[in-house]
Amino acid sequence: MTKNTNYVIGVDYGTDSVRSIIVDAATGEEVAAAVFYYPRWKEQLFCNAAVNQFRQHPFDYVEGLETTIKKCLQQAGPGIAANIRAISVDTTGSSPVLVNKKGTPLALTPEFENNPNAMFILWKDHTAVKEAAEINEHAKKFDINYLQYVGGIYSSEWFWAKLLHVLREDESIRNAAYSLAEHCDWIPFLLTGGTDVALMKRSICAAGHKALFAKEFGGFPPNDFFKALDPLLDGFTARLFDKAYTASESAGTLSEEWAERLGLSTGVVVGIGAFDAHMGAVGGQIEPYYLSKVMGTSTCDILVAPENETQDILVKGICGQVPGSVIPGMTGLEAGQSAFGDAYAWFRNLLMWPLKQTLNQSDIIDADTRKKLIEESENKLIAALSEHAAQLDVNEDDELAVDWFNGRRTPDANQMLEGAFYGLSLGSDAPRMFRAVAEATCFGARAIVERFIEEKIPVKGLIGMGGVARKSPFIMQMMADIMQMPIRIHKSEQTCAAGAAMFAATAAGLYNKVEDAMAAMGLGFETEYVPDKSKAALYNKRYAQYKQFGAAIENLTVNK
């Protein structure tokens, strides 16, 4: 380290954990990293999977923020803290929380500390399916299409549906709540010592993609839109915001409290927050018209294009198109799949159930050996399934699946849809069924690409990031073959946190624009999967079957 070296911190809030990294702002070199797994979430406190309720306590977020940054500073060694210039965060989304006038999440007040409705409503929470359906029907009554910038369909995963659901469900929360804040907006507000929610700086990324905020509407749709939907929403937009910011801008500097807690200076700039995949796209060195796929429990697919080339295009059935939501000066277009890694995890857990049950009843092995054997099996199972599935000869009439195990995010959001298998027989073993699941997730990815192309947005290639992209050559090669499109895999293990670090450097003024930070701090790509052209005809036939099977499942779901 030299005396004049500048460092920045990127913080990435994922579904299960928060990761922080310290990065050399000149080169992008990672000098320290730390991960904190949310203890309350790990125990699934405040969650009820049976009704798709997934809530996270703000204490998990606050404890994780402090713990990981302190660990990073300790790893980095003496002198680094004095050269930290900025911090930026990304989070899952839409993951909002109801707050009081001070901007404090209600779960951080004594009255509501154990009330799930007072906590962050995680992106994957689908308790607001009914409210989303009402919003979609309600929007048809207006001359202006207020859903036009979110693909024409509002999702239960998003801001207004979640707000309305909680207000209806919980009178005590309804009486105590003043406003609603996205996770990516609240963390910078916390770090800068905010005490008035009216002064919370909001992200255009979250506002535009999830909250119906658009300059064409002068901000939000008018109050009459919300009041007519439900009187509980009357006047709520007045308690929100009328301006939103790009992630390249500053939210302020560290408060005295947080500077002391972290061991940093009050001069450290705190950047505007954004969603994980949007910052991850920058960390993965996105290029115009390349689809950046952050592949984890779900996928979030990001494409950017110059604003002047997209201003007359409205892509139907995606998660929004918002100027500046990824890179200022470009339109950010978002799509994704509600279950990707989660689909593989579901299948693994299905296979692990009998093993756990029988081993837990075994008199042959001791408890410690039993625990280690279960953990080893869980860790190796997906790799073993992938190895055997890769050796199978693929035929047109093999087992088929649809990938809607957590509903469908895009194209055309419908969280009521369900996963399914077709063509099972007595010969359908675990590798064949796993292959069908993997193939279905790749077909779901192809449906997203096809929607962009149908709507006059070209897709030149794919950029893969995240755990699945880096750890599963089997799935990545299958995706290239099904898409008939190359996919480059980024080197960084932490593209979202790296993107946050790039935005931090930009917010601190170390770079004039985020593209400059991306060019200087990007780590490049480690491999590229090239499509096997000999498989194109077979996969085209199976993709047609996938769409036909999906239509049948959708029809059954709607009419059951």
pLDDT tens-digit map of 531-555: 999 999 999 999 999 999 999 999 9
- For the chain, the average pLDDT equals 95
Please, how many CA atoms are within 13 Å of residue 340, restricted to the half-sphere of its CB? 26
Which residues, 6 or more positions from 543, have their beta carbon under 8 angstroms from its beta carbon?
443, 446, 482
| C-beta separation of 442 from 462 below 8 A | no
C-beta of residue 155 within 8 angstroms of C-beta of residue 319: yes
Q: List Cβ neighbours of 422 (8 Å cut-off, separation of 6 or more).
A: 399, 400, 401, 549
What is the token pair recorded at 186? 């609240």
Rounded average pLDDT over 7-14: 97
User: Is residue 263 located within the same domain as residue 346?
Assistant: no
**537 and 520, same structural domain?**
no
Report CA-CA distances (Å) from 441 to 291, 336, 435. 16, 11, 10
φ/ψ of residue 455, rounded to 5: -95, 20
Range of the domain at 238: 7-284+492-526
Please state, in angstroms and rounded to a whole number, the distance separating the CA atoms of residues 406 and 110: 34
Instruction: Please count the structural domains in the chain.
Output: 2
Is 203 found in the same domain as 88?
Answer: yes
Spell out the residues 6+ positions from residue 312 whose beta carbon is closer than 8 angstroms to its own: none
Confidence band (pLDDT; 50, 70, 90) for 466? confident
Instruction: State both tokens at 302.
Output: 């990001």
Is the per-residue pLDDT at 216 higher than 90?
yes
Does residue 233 belong to any structural domain of this protein? Answer: yes
More confident of the two residues 500 and 297: 500
Residue 94 preceded by cis peptide, ω within 30? yes
Residue type at position 145: N
Nearest to 516 by CA among 87, 88, 25: 25
Is 356 found in the same domain as 235?
no
For residues 455 and 465, state if they share a domain: yes
In a shared domain, residues 24 and 123: yes
CA distances from 436 to 299, 390, 442, 557 (A): 18, 11, 10, 21
* Res 560: pLDDT: 66
Q: Which two tokens stand for residue 131?
A: 């409210």
The pLDDT value recorded for residue 531 is: 97
Q: Where are the alpha helices (DSSP H) in 323-472?
A: 341-360, 367-390, 430-454, 467-471
Beta bridge partners of 305: 331
Kindly state the average pLDDT of the residues 403-417.
91
Per-residue pLDDT at 137: 97
pTM of the prediction? 0.91
Q: Is the separation of the CB atoms in 41 and 82 below 8 Å? A: no
Residue 330 lies in a domain: no
Q: What is the pLDDT of residue 493?
A: 86
Percentage of the chain modeled with pLDDT above 90? 92
For residue 2, pLDDT over 50 is answered with no
Is the residue at 293 inside a domain? no
Condensed to tens digits (0 to 9), the pLDDT of residues 305-350 reads: 999 998 889 999 998 999 999 999 999 999 999 999 999 999 999 9
As beta bridge partners, residue 222 has none
User: Are residue 519 and residue 546 in the same domain, yes or no?
Assistant: no
229-286, pLDDT tens digit by residue?
A: 999 999 999 999 999 999 999 999 999 999 999 999 999 999 999 999 999 999 999 9
- Could you say which DSSP state residue 234 is in? T
Q: In terms of domains, do 362 and 508 share one?
A: no
pLDDT surpassing 80 at residue 421: yes
| Residue 360 confidence (pLDDT) | 87
Phi-psi domain of 46 (left: phi exceeds 0; alpha: psi -120 through 50; beta: other): left
Q: Summarize pLDDT for 53-97 with one digit per residue, the tens.
A: 999 999 999 999 999 999 999 999 999 999 999 999 999 999 999
The rounded distance, in Å, linking the Cα atoms of 148 and 104 is: 32
What pLDDT shows up at residue 557? 82
- Same domain for 455 and 519? no
- DSSP assigned state of 110: G
Q: Over the stretch 340-393, which tens digit does the pLDDT of each residue have?
A: 999 999 999 999 999 999 998 888 889 899 999 999 999 999 999 999 999 999
Which residue type, as a one-letter code, is found at position 65?
L
Mean pLDDT of 34-48: 96
Q: What is the pLDDT of residue 3?
A: 55
Shared domain for 485 and 497, answered yes or no, is: no
The single residue listed with the structure tokens 């302020």 is 252
| Claim to verify: residue 441 and residue 499 sit in the same structural domain | no
| Residue 380's CATH number | 3.30.420.40
Location of structure tokens 């055997």: 388
Q: What is the pLDDT of residue 558?
A: 73
pLDDT higher than threshold 80 for residue 436: yes
Encoding tokens for residue 507?
Answer: 């917010």
Is residue 4 scored above 80 in pLDDT?
no
* Strand partners of residue 18: 13, 36
Q: What is the pLDDT of residues 474-532, one digit of tens each?
A: 999 999 999 999 999 999 889 999 999 999 999 999 999 999 999 999 999 999 999 99
Strand 84-91, strand 269-271: pairing? parallel
Q: Give the tens place of pLDDT for each residue, 14-40.
A: 999 999 999 999 999 999 999 999 999
